[in-house]
């Protein structure tokens, strides 16, 4: 049965605001050297911090929710896309969805197709700051970095943190509130701090 749009008036408001914002969003992405692709839906204005000598590429049908009204989990800040250094890369495939949260690359963050990231989650490939006090005092922004790879069909729950060097295998699910510090195999459910595999996912029963 088709839903009556007036039963969810906040969705109507969100769609109107999204439509009105499109010209400003296209200017924002153009100014940051990011090609506007087909089928994008953006609620609210994301924050883009792109190093001029880095690259951010995103596939078709992206869905970003940056406004507090766009999701009942109410993002605590807009989506942030950040490349901090020369040569850094953020590469995102098709059908990507994210509510609030941050993707920040020092080296490379690669995200496959059909990936969903829950509200207020963080994906970073760097420690930002060195562990040793002596190094922090001399060069406070030179923490270790290592690429992050997120394969196709991954689902990341709300309020997760994905840290440097992690590879999330195809089809895996990361439980809400998890901190992922090591790679997770394909078609498994993982959760906790630090995240550990809980069980496999039987694809024949999907």
CATH number at residue 178: 2.160.10.10
User: Each residue of 152-185: pLDDT tens digit?
Assistant: 999 999 999 999 999 999 999 999 999 999 999 9
Q: How many CA atoms are closer than 13 Å to the CA of 98, on its beta-carbon side?
A: 29
Q: Which domain holds residue 19?
A: 5-205
- DSSP-H helix ranges across 46-169: 133-138
Q: Which residue has the higher pLDDT, 131 or 65?
A: 65
**Number of domains forming the structure of the chain:** 1
User: Each residue of 4-25: pLDDT tens digit?
Assistant: 766 788 888 889 999 999 999 9
Say how many C-beta atoms besides its own lie within 10 A of residue 123's C-beta. Answer: 25
Helix then strand then coil, in percent of the chain rounded to 5, is 20, 30, 50
User: Each residue of 103-138: pLDDT tens digit?
Assistant: 999 999 999 999 999 999 999 999 987 787 777 777
Report the distance separating Cα 193 and Cα 189, nearest Å: 14
pLDDT of amino acid 174:
98
pTM recorded for the entire structure: 0.91
114 as an active site residue: the answer is no
Report the distance separating Cα 153 and Cα 180, nearest Å: 17
Do strands 188-191 and 173-174 pair parallel, antiparallel, or not at all (unpaired)? parallel
What are the tokens at 108? 């490379």
- Angstrom distances, CA of residue 82 to CA of 122, 153, 155: 11, 23, 21
Q: Are 154 and 195 in contact (CB under 8 A)?
A: no
Sign of the alpha-carbon dihedral angle for 192, 196, 202, 206: positive
Q: Are 123 and 164 in contact (CB under 8 A)?
A: no
Residue 167 DSSP code: E
Q: Are 121 and 103 in contact (CB under 8 A)?
A: no
Q: What is the dihedral of CA 197, 168, 25, 42, to 10 degrees?
A: -40
Among candidate residues 51, 77, 114, 129, the one labeled active-site is 129
């Amino acid at each position: 049965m088709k839903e009556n749009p007036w039963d969810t008036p906040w969705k109507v408001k969100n769609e109107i605001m999204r439509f009105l914002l499109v010209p400003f969003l296209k200017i924002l992405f153009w100014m940051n050297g990011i090609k506007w692709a087909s089928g994008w839906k953006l609620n609210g204005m994301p924050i883009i911090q792109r190093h001029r000598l880095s690259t951010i590429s995103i596939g078709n049908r992206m869905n970003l929710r940056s406004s507090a009204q766009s999701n009942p989990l109410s993002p605590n800040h807009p989506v942030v896309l950040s490349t901090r250094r020369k040569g850094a890369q953020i590469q995102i495939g098709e059908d990507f969805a994210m509510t609030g949260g941050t993707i920040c690359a020092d080296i490379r963050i690669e995200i496959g197709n059909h990936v969903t990231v829950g509200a207020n989650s963080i994906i970073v490939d760097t420690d930002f700051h060195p562990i040793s006090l002596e190094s922090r005092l001399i060069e406070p922004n030179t923490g270790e970095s290592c690429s992050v790879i997120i394969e196709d069909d991954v689902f990341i729950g709300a309020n997760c943190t994905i840290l440097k060097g992690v590879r999330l295998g195809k089809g895996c699910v990361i439980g809400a509130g998890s901190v992922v510090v090591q790679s997770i195999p394909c078609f498994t459910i993982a959760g906790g701090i630090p995240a550990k595999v809980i069980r496999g996912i039987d694809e024949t029963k999907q």
